[in-house]
Chain A
Amino acid sequence: MEKLTLSPEKITADLVPQAFGKRGMIWTGCLLVLCAIGLVAYIRQVTKGLVVTNMRDYVSWGIYISNFVFFVAISLVGSLITAVFRLADVHWSTPLTRIAEIIAVSAIVFASLIIIVDMGRPERFYFLLLFGRIQSPIMWDVIVISTYFVISLLLLYLPLLPDIKILLEQKGIGVDRFQKLYRFLGSFWKGLDIQEKMNNKAVTLLCVTIIPVAFSIHTVTSWLFATTYRPGWDSTNFGAYFISGAFLVGAGGVVVAMYVFRHVYKLEKYITEMHFDRMGKIVVMLALLYLYFNVNEYLVPAFKMKTSEEAHLMQLFTGEYAAMFWFAIFTGMLIPIAIMIFKKGRKPLPMFVAGIMVVVGAWFKRYLIVTPTLLHPFLPMHNVPASYHHYFPSWEEWAIAIGSLAGAMLVITFFARILPIIPIHETIIEQHETAE
């Protein structure tokens, strides 16, 4: 492992939040514009109704639910990088923990919002809480998502406390305007031994708690499908299939974020090639695992080729969705494995490219899980308008979906602007311990 030989002052100076330059402002502006377009589309949907979407009687879960599953999946990364590695006493991942926690929080926020969008009228969410049935997996999902959101926030907040003390001591354009916020969040943190002890204990307890909750959140999401008797969803494999896919996309998202933050904030000394190399190995392992579940999901029904499954599978393999299906398999798994299995492929730039492929492939994979199944119900579609036989999202659906993705990135950008993207205190401590 490469050793840092930097003074605490240098580490602090390198890692405190920095004011956005021209590129940062343009990036934020673009995200705001995309969010605004999404908001306009959502206002149209609320005022005119779900008729502005192309969802009809059969495809009633379209791009919104695909997006929801994608967000839930990517949010699992917080538990992987932070909780699993912390409990396993893996220290090399320290610079990546906050990135993972921020991604987790922003993704889970937009997973919740996109569900409300999918409901059509937003007050239906209130009715769900008021009249929801505990027997329904949808209700389980609401409970587990809100729980995971709170735990993720705590997991972001508690390890941040020592860094807030450092930020309060700093002066400069990057931190001055946020002093009130820092004081509100952590002025009480004095670094007392008892505080440190309580905080470490709390973080460990959180790490233990978040792993089963994270598994639950995506298992329950998979049950939304698997408890519904339909071709393509009628599987006992779905929970593990979804979780393996979620870890893959989450790790891919962290790789992309690592590269971007490293490049933009000049963090080469902290996020080193070693981190890319190790993350690359993890992504390869997760991609192989997800590939294994994919083989299970498609090969077994394809071997039996029951009549009800046939139309669905053939549409994926050779039919209307074949291009998207093979794109998702190759881009989301096979090509990234081929890149990252070699040491040269685990360098920052190839890893960045492979990470983007994993994330993009994963988004399309979620679309493929949701839509083609809905177009193949057990009972044939008779006497319905031609538009019911196909689904392609309307511009409002695209705008809202893209707006939500932009929103999640905006939240990440916002956190990156006000918080140290790499834990300062932990980096100093680890460097001190390594030096000893």
Chain B
Amino acid sequence: MKQPNNYKLFFAFIIVLCSFSAIAQDEKPKPKLLLELGYHLSNNKIPFVSVYTKSKNERKFIPVPNIAVKIYLTQEADANLLGTVKTNNEGRAIVSFPPSVQALWDTATQFTIVGTTDASKDYRSISSETSATKAKINIDTVLVDGARNILVTVTKKQGKDWVPAKDIETKITVKRSIGNLSVSDAETYTTDSAGQATVEFKRIGIPGDEKGNITLVARTEDNEFVGNLSIEKTVPWGSNFVNQGIDFNRRTLFATRDKAPWWLLFLAGSIFIGVWSVIIYLVRQIIKMRKLGNT
């Protein structure tokens, strides 16, 4: 019997190895989907739940879009369904509390929000939950020794009563165009045993609207006890915004390209035409010299 030579054996080994490798790749485990829920109450109106779906890839979290998530209040039951949402391209969605859960919500003091997803070809089904105490946030202003102060109060529901919520970290800020600016030097303020945090307003002269109105914002962020509460109050503490008469339709250096100043167009155009006229003249001279040489 003819013995297979070493090369054939080697290639057979490589082919088997590659096959195993390919099978192993096919059996790659599905990436794990992560579901984050957040409870929000803005200006003590209708609460809503934020949803964020993501997965971990090479040490980074990547948003996962188009995931249908069912959100329930307290437990997974049809009667407790807040809604079904599909995450957007950034993996986010929100769902407001519907009227159907009002009776359940009115009696709640501590509550849990449950989110579930169905299994798909890419991800296994998962569920997640977040718990919070039913709470409210209020904002008021007081004068202390002639200084403007902001008083933020956080209360939580206990039985049928609203009682102070102490040790809640809050951010007290002024709303600006792009973000919020802290009203004083510290980043956060913690409520005392009366559920209150007081801070002196130090942004004297901050620009407001035409009447000098600014919007104060107090909020808790991902607080483990009360979730995300926020409240706004408009106060006339800013300086009046004065229109400087900036008109983007005028011909200026900072206007769009079709509104360049006439003097610049004239100056740049003259220099350009002057220099390029010389260049064109020189090219014509070369053409003339060429003709002279060829005749």
Contacts and interface: CB of A to CB of B under 8 A. Distances in A.
B275 A209 contact: yes
B254 interface: yes
B279 A150 contact: yes
A206 B282 contact: yes
B289 A188 contact: yes
A199 B286 CA distance: 8
Interface in A244-295: none
A78 to B, nearest CB: 15
Main secondary structure of the interface of B (DSSP, over half): helix
Nearest to B275: A147
Interface residues of B, number: 28
Interface stretch (B56-64, B120-128, B256-264): B256-264
B30 interface: no
A195 B279 contact: no
A135 interface: yes
A202 B282 contact: yes
B275 to A, nearest CB: 6
A61 interface: no
B289 A195 contact: yes
Q: Which of B268, B276, B289 has the most CB of A within 10 A?
A: B289
A316 B255 CA distance: 36
A91 interface: no
Contact of A154 (B260, B264, B279, B288): B279
A85 to B, nearest CB: 20
Interface in A125-139: 131-135
Nearest to A195: B289
B289 A135 contact: no
Interface extent on A, as a size class?
Answer: 20 to 34
B293 A195 contact: yes
A133 B285 contact: no
Contact of A134 (B260, B281, B289): B260
Given A140-B268, A154-B279, A154-B282, A133 B293 contact: no
Contacts of A157: 286
B278 interface: yes
Contact of A135 (B253, B278, B283): B253
Instruction: For the complex of A and B, list the 4 residue pairs with the smallest distance between their C-beta atoms, beginning with the closest.
Output: A188-B293, A133-B257, A188-B290, A135-B253
Given A132-B257, A161-B289, A198-B288, 18 more contacts: A133-B256, A133-B257, A134-B265, A135-B260, A143-B268, A147-B272, A150-B279, A154-B282, A157-B286, A188-B289, A188-B290, A190-B293, A194-B292, A195-B289, A195-B292, A195-B293, A201-B285, A202-B285
